[in-house]
């Protein structure tokens, strides 16, 4: 049991992870072939994962509807719409006019509506962030103010210096910080990958949860 639940997943991870890493640096046809095949398998496994996800959605909402929990009719509606799309896709094909209409007339407007809330949340996040309560938030606010005024067409008209200072902030402090963070991120990613391959990092593949053990 321990082998299946702990050792086997890690062995697969280490073998195929190492092969994928090597295939990027070493030009050996056998390694390239295995790495290429494993990439195809990832797609297949991904498809199984979609099935698992879909199963979770149906199970969760079927149980909610059966137990008549609060707003249970919404769960019934979700399952109904879910199967309507599946049946339309299976019977008429995903390229059919009916399926495309369902997608364009039902999903797209709702999705765009959700994306539309982004503007509202940006404003409320800005209000929350730029209330000057500490010295850090003052720096945060000044950075925002200079960039915002530079971007707004009225800014340089009010005072040309806004454009100069705004450009300076973008070009020097912002770019410098971004590069420092990017270097740290790159090394961090490599370190995490190597720790995972060397089995120093647990990533939810085994009991314990607390990472670092082996």
Interface ranges with other proteins (CB under 8 A): 21, 24-28, 42, 45-46, 49-50, 52-54, 56-57, 59-60, 63-64, 110-111, 114-115, 117-118, 121-122, 124-126, 128-129, 140, 178, 181-196, 198, 200-214
Min dist CB 89 to other proteins, Å, is: 13
What is the phi-psi region of residue 42: left when phi exceeds 0, alpha when psi lies from -120 to 50, beta otherwise?
Answer: alpha
Instruction: Give the residue with the Cβ less far from other proteins, 3 or 121.
Output: 121
Structural contact between residues 62 and 79, judged by C-beta atoms closer than 8 angstroms: yes
Smallest distance, Å, CB 93 to other proteins? 19
Comparing CB distances to other proteins, the nearer of 74 and 158 is: 74
Determine contact, residues 20/38, Cβ cutoff 8 Å: yes
Instruction: Confirm if 86 and 104 have CB atoms less than 8 A apart.
Output: no
Instruction: Name the residue nearer to other proteins (CB basis): 167 or 189.
Output: 189
CB nearer to other proteins: give 165 or 197: 197
- Smallest gap, in angstroms, from Cβ of residue 98 to other proteins? 19
- Return d(Cα 209, Cα 214) in angstroms, integer: 11
Spatial distance between the Cα atoms of 174 and 32, rounded to a whole number of angstroms: 40
Tokens of 146: 């200079």
Nearer to other proteins (CB atom), residue 158 or residue 183: 183
CB of 113 to other proteins, least distance (A): 8
Q: Where are the alpha helices (DSSP H) in 93-174?
A: 97-102, 108-129, 135-151, 154-158, 161-169
Whole-number minimum distance, CB 77 to other proteins, in Å?
13
Tell me how far apart the alpha carbons of residues 164 and 155 are, in angstroms, rounded to a whole number.
11
> Rounded to whole angstroms, how far apart are CA atoms 196 and 207?
15
Of the pair 12, 28, the CB lying nearest other proteins is at: 28
Q: How far is the CB of 157 from other proteins (least distance, A)?
A: 27
Instruction: Read off the tokens for 162.
Output: 């806004």
């Amino acid at each position: 049991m321990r082998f299946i639940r702990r050792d086997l997943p890690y062995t697969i991870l280490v073998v195929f992870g190492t092969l994928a890493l090597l295939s990027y640096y070493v030009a050996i046809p056998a390694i390239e072939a295995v790495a290429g095949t494993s990439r195809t398998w990832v797609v297949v496994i991904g498809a199984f994962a979609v099935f698992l996800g879909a199963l979770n959605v149906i199970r969760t909402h079927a149980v909610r509807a059966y137990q008549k929990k609060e707003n249970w009719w919404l769960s019934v509606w979700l399952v109904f719409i879910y199967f309507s799309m599946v049946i339309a896709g299976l019977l008429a094909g995903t390229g059919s006019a009916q399926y495309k209409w369902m997608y364009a007339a039902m999903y797209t407007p709702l999705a765009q509506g959700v994306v539309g809330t982004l503007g509202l949340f940006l404003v409320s996040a800005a209000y929350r962030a730029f209330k000057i309560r500490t010295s850090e938030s003052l720096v945060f606010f000044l950075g925002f103010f200079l960039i915002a005024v530079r971007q707004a067409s009225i800014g340089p008209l009010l005072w040309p210096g806004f454009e100069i200072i705004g450009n300076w902030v973008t070009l020097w402090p912002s770019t410098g910080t971004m590069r420092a963070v990017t270097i740290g991120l790159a090394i961090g990613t490599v370190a995490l990958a190597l720790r995972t391959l060397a089995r120093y990092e647990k990533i939810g593949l085994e009991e314990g949860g607390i990472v670092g053990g082996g």
